[in-house]
Structure 1
Amino acid sequence: MNIGQQILFFVSALGAFNGIVLSVYLLLGKKKRSVPTIFLITLLLALSIRVSKSVFLYFNPSIPRIYLQIGLSACFLIGPALYYFFRSVQENVTKIPTSWKWVWGILLGIIILTGSILPYPAYPAIWNNVIVYIIYLEWMIYLIATGFVLKTVLKTFLVNRSALNSTDKFRLLLYTGNCLVFLAYLLSLANIICGIYIIGPVLFSFLLYLSIFYNLQGARYENGLPVKSEKKKIAAPDAQVWIEKLETAIREKELYKDPNLKLNDLAKIINISVHQLSQLLNDNLGKGFSTYINEYRINEACRLITTNDHLTFEAIGYEVGYNSKSTFYAAFRKIKDTTPALYKENIS
């Protein structure tokens, strides 16, 4: 190898090696791993194995064919790992659902059965002309599905990039990086661009180091994503964007009227983590979730008291989201420092 090839080998191989090291660190670094972390570990391992196979095949085409089978088998898990990583983050999953376990059981079963019945060393033509295309089709389908999971972030990026916070930027980095790695391999498979095969490993190395650099700039990983430190307020520009999203969602959808509304429900609706929403309310607005929602409910109750004489106070309480008359009265007194009856009397 000349000096250029040596540098290329070093960069791509080091990225693959560090990806494996990072996944092992995430696996062994904590006694209790969150669901997103489990899928992130799977994603890193699958990518690292796939990239390692690419590096050694590119610089040594005579490597044993069993390694080609291992690399392509790992490739079959990249798309699903990315998809379920983002779904588990978006939906704040704390326990892997049974349906997800079935999907992964089927995927692993396909890999084991295919590798046992049709091993690459014995059936290279089937792998190169059929199985590899099935693998890339499955990878593409999961990439598209992941795009739908991230549609809010992608739309925000296209419409107003300044509205993206650090978490959104990391999501875009991870998603677009995986898309670029897939595209590099797809173009190589289709023989559209000569020599692009090694670009996949190089892109992976770049993505990995950029993610690490991003983390070292002050963000930390929590449930698989970087968020700002708990001791600091969300930056004013980011906070203002989230506050506007929050208020718009609550007003337009009248979310406060749902008596079962929870913090995590509201976080999902505006596409923010539960931790960040809690931090936004407590640190930036100076009030807890319960107080924030009660203010909307009581303001709506005051409007109904003023404009609807035929409604009883109890009916108004149920209308604005309370499950009982006593809870409504207690919240009204806390927010308005009076009772509904006295409030109506003073208005009259």
Structure 2
Amino acid sequence: MQLILWICLVAAGQGILIGIVILRGRQSQPAGRLLGWLITGFALAMASFVLNMTIRSTTWYPGPVLTWAIAAFFGPLLLMFVRGITGFSFRLPFHYWHFIPALFYIAEVLMYWIGGKQMILLTNLQMALPANFILLGYVITALLHLKYYTGKVVQFNPQQNNALVNTRKLLIFFGLYAFSLLAFLICVIVKSTAGIYITILIKVLLTLAIYYLSYAKLRIGYQLAVREDVLPKEKYKTTTLSIETADYILKRLKRVMQEEKLFLSPSLKLKEVADKLGTSTHHLSRVINERLALSFPDYINCCRVEAAQQLLLSDHTITIEAIGQRSGFRNKTSFNNAFRKFTQQTPSQFRAAGGQQASHADQ
């Protein structure tokens, strides 16, 4: 047992060092910083295990309650990390409720420091079981998110498969970690002597996790990071969007517009399209701005002009105004203005010339 404690103590020290390096990295993206916090959290959990096995509870150290307080942050941080590397937004001001359970455990720690052990509302087991099931829930949610993302993206970007496989392995590890904790709690409940061996297994997994997470930082964090030399950064310098995710959003956008023709709705909003694609309005707007050099309204009008061009050439019996309405424009004036903007012709001139211009949306 002495050897195990020394291994955990050394691994905890290295984990804290790795976490600090990642967190202080100047080029670290938000997903990378989240990974840094995960590594730091594992290291602190390991350090608390060593304390639990040596000094146990004191006036300044609350014992296992601190371990579970730290573990309660793993789930939300894990989901934030997975969403971050796949280009989806997960900002604390809008997702603060994910940390409510962790804040409860922190409150328990504070109550211990204020009034001692008698101030803690729940027993160790009552705190451990919910924390464990919460972590399992987040692992499953993150796996489902990654499965959805993999199915939608790899068909367009096969080169991204390795990064996604590594991420999936990381989530599987978290799942095994959560199940190991559950097995340990069961042993505690039934008073099985096998519990001590499961405890050792859990701490070995923690040790492996710190080294694997640092490896994953290189294989995952950078493979899916924004390439700042490719994407303009002034307007969107505070957000993260990987090249692969931007490619997917653009290809998916074009496919949806072609197949479902959302632009035919005169009242189409950016949020409606973003919800359809499963992304944020900010990311969708960014992709259209940077990849097509268009605003969202201009892109939609461009699609409408394309539809109008086909109608103008296919049926000469339809009036110009009717074609504009069928293409999604509210009135003839907006139709004429948009058509001239993208083709340098009026609809009448285009029809008379037989159609010679190509729209911006196909570039």
TM-score using structure 1 length: 0.67
1:334 lines up with 2:330 in the alignment: no
Contact between 2:304 and 2:327, CA under 8 Å: does it hold in 1? yes
Alpha-carbon contact 2:274-2:281 (below 8 Å) kept: no
1:5-34 per-residue CA deviation (whole Å, 9 max, x = no partner) reads 5884466224431355257637xx79xx99
Distance in 2 (alpha carbons) for counterparts of 1:6 and 1:12: 10
Residue 61 (str. 1) matches residue 53 (str. 2) = yes
- Bigger RCO of structures 1 and 2 (CA < 8 A, at least 6 apart): 1
For 2:229, the equivalent position in structure 1 comes to 230
Q: Point out the more displaced range, 66-75 or 107-116.
A: 107-116
**What corresponds to 2:259 in structure 1?**
252
Shift of residue 277, structure 1, vs aligned partner: 8.3
> Structure 1 313/163 Cα, relative in aligned 2: closer, same or farther at 3 Å?
farther
Partner of 1:155: 151
User: Cα deviations across residues 27-84 of structure 1 (Å, max 9, x unaligned)?
Assistant: xx79xx9987886676555444323323x25xx7233232422111111222133335
For the structure 1 residues 14 and 311, does the alpha-carbon distance in structure 2 shift closer, same or farther, using more than 3 Å as the test?
farther
Contact persistence 1:257–1:321 (CA under 8 A):
yes
C-alpha distance after superposition, 1:123-169 (max 9, x if no partner): 99x64433211211121122223334434224358989826378756
Change in Cα spacing, 1:272 to 1:302, as seen in structure 2 (3 Å) is same
> Aligned partners of 1:214, 1:190: CA distance in 2, in Å?
35
Letter in 2 for 1:304: L
| CA gap 1:326/1:264 in 2 versus in 1, 3 angstroms | same
Tell me which of 193, 198, 201 is aligned to 2:203: 198
Partner of 1:210: 215
Residue identity matched to 1:53: S
Amino acid at match of 2:45: R
Match of 1:50 in 2: 45
Q: Choose which of 75, 89, 107 in structure 2 pairs with 1:92.
A: 89
Alignment partners' CA distance in 2, 1:203 and 1:346 = 70
Once residues 214 and 280 of structure 1 are traced to their aligned partners in structure 2, the CA distance between those partners, rounded to angstroms, is 29
Cα distance change of structure 1 residues 175 and 267 upon mapping to structure 2, 3 Å threshold: farther
Say which is worse superposed, 113-122 or 195-204, in terms of deviation: 113-122
Matched, 1:143 2:119: no
**TM-superposed deviation, 1:345:** 3.7
Q: Distance in 1 between matches of 2:289 and 2:162?
A: 18
1:208-235 deviation line (CA, Å, top 9, x unaligned): 311332379x65xxxxx72223337999
Partner of 2:12 in structure 1?
A: 13
Deviations 1:163-188 (A, max 9, x none): 63787567546544533443443444
Secondary structure of residue in 1 paired with 2:225: strand
**Letter of the structure 2 residue corresponding to residue 64 of structure 1:** R
Matched, 1:83 2:79: yes
Unaligned runs of 5+ in 1: 220-224
- 1:226 match: secondary structure: coil
Alignment-mate amino acid for residue 209 of structure 2: F
1:131 and 2:122 are equivalent in the alignment: no
Contact 2:82 2:142 in 1 (8 A): yes
| Counterparts of 2:177 and 2:127, CA distance in 1 | 19
Distance 1:305 1:161 in 2: 36
Query: In 2, distance between residues paired with 1:179 and 1:241?
Result: 28
Between stretches 193-202 and 81-90, larger displacement belongs to 81-90
- Distance change (3 Å), C-alpha of 1:313 and 1:120: farther
Paired residues of 2:264 and 2:326 also in contact (CA < 8 A): yes
- DSSP-derived class of the 1:227 partner: coil
2:358 maps to none
Deviation of 1:299 after TM superposition, in Å, equals 1.7
RMSD of equivalent CA atoms: 5.1
Structure 2 distance, partners of 1:15, 1:172, is 24
| Structure 2: gaps of 5 or more residues | 188-193, 233-240, 356-363
**Residues 146, 7 of structure 1: alpha-carbon distance in 2 compared, 3 angstrom cutoff:** same
Counterpart of 1:185?
181
CA contact under 8 A between 2:249 and 2:277: conserved in structure 1?
Answer: no
The size of the alignment, in residue pairs, is: 329
